[in-house]
Homo-oligomer: A and B are copies of this chain.
Amino acid sequence: MTASFPSPDREADVFSLFPREEDFFALFRKQGALVKLGCDQLNEMMTSFDRLGERARQLKDTEHQGDLVAHELFERLNRTFITPLEREDIHDLASGLDDVLDAVEAIASRLVLYKIQSATPEARQLAAIVVKSGAQIEQAVNSLKDFKNLMGFTIEINRLENEADTISRQAVADLFDGQHEVLDVMRWKEIYGRLEGATDKAEDVANVIEAIVLKNR
């Protein structure tokens, strides 16, 4: 039978049964700031297109910091009885934010791995949308505690996903016009797909936030 029996002799566990509500929100704000930072780092990489290896390592470091925060959120969730949001929503939000950061890091690393020499205009447009999504996510997460204006952020994140979808579809279609090296088709089809995929992950976060709003209004 499942149960969490805090050892009575371990003070830390006893306290963790009723952590300050604040803790979860503080960790989410930390994670939101890292998502924003990662999206910005990807965009700078795409616009400057210099020192790619170094920039990709910096983004990898941001993603690793995000892992640590997500891990702390999961650990706290598993050790806590009473939570300020539904357990499932805390889990889904932490996973969702982590997925956005993983997605942007994967793009940065592929720019390096695939030895890409310069960014296409469409890649820069898509990275600019990713940055906007990241900014909306950070603001939404910062507003989470007060449930203020959250739907405004989620609507905008959905709109950005649609915009990215339109651009990436056209960009992929252009790759198949017979004018591109096969290896470039392979490279950019994946990168465009992943850039659009990053805005999908942002939309998943927006959906979790929307569920939180619906349950708590």
Q: Is the CB of B183 within 8 A of A183?
A: no
Can you list, as one digit per residue, whether each of A163-181 has a CB less than 8 Å from chain B (1) or not (0)?
0000001001100110000
Q: Is the interface of A mostly helix, strand, loop or mixed?
A: helix
Q: Is the CB of B4 within 8 A of A78?
A: no
Given contacts A75-B214, A183-B185, A211-B78, contact A1 B176 (CB under 8 A): no
Q: Is the CB of A115 within 8 A of B177?
A: yes
Q: Is the CB of A74 within 8 A of B183?
A: no
Chain B residues with CB under 8 A of A48:
none
- In the assembled complex, how far is the CB of residue A83 from the closest CB belonging to chain B, in whole angstroms? 7
Q: Is the CB of A211 within 8 A of B173?
A: no
Q: Is the CB of A113 within 8 A of B172?
A: yes
Q: Is the CB of A85 within 8 A of B2?
A: yes
Query: How many A residues touch B, CB cutoff 8 Å?
Result: 38
Bound-complex Cα distance A99 to B112 (A):
29
Q: Is the CB of B1 within 8 A of A82?
A: yes
Chain B residues with CB under 8 A of A211:
74, 78
- In the assembled complex, how far is the CB of residue A118 from the closest CB belonging to chain B, in whole angstroms? 15
Given contacts A85-B2, A186-B185, contact A78 B112 (CB under 8 A): no
Bound-complex Cα distance A91 to B71 (A):
20
**Is A79 an interface residue, CB under 8 A from the partner?**
yes
Bound-complex Cα distance A61 to B116 (A):
36
- In the assembled complex, how far is the CB of residue A64 from the closest CB belonging to chain B, in whole angstroms? 10
Q: In the complex, which residue of chain B has the Cβ closest to the Cβ of A176? A: B115
Bound-complex Cα distance A182 to B182 (A):
7
Given contacts A1-B84, A84-B2, A186-B186, contact A79 B214 (CB under 8 A): yes
Q: Is the CB of B4 within 8 A of A215?
A: yes
Chain B residues with CB under 8 A of A74:
207, 211
Instruction: Give 5 A-B contacts (CB < 8 Å), ordered by A residue.
Output: A2-B83, A2-B215, A5-B216, A78-B211, A183-B185
Q: A2-B83, A78-B215 are in contact. List 9 more A-B contacts (CB 8 A).
A: A4-B215, A7-B217, A74-B211, A78-B211, A79-B214, A112-B173, A113-B169, A115-B177, A182-B182
Q: Considering the complex of A and B, which 9 residue pairs feature the smallest CB-CB distances, nearest first?
A: A78-B214, A2-B86, A113-B173, A115-B176, A182-B182, A113-B172, A114-B176, A4-B215, A78-B215
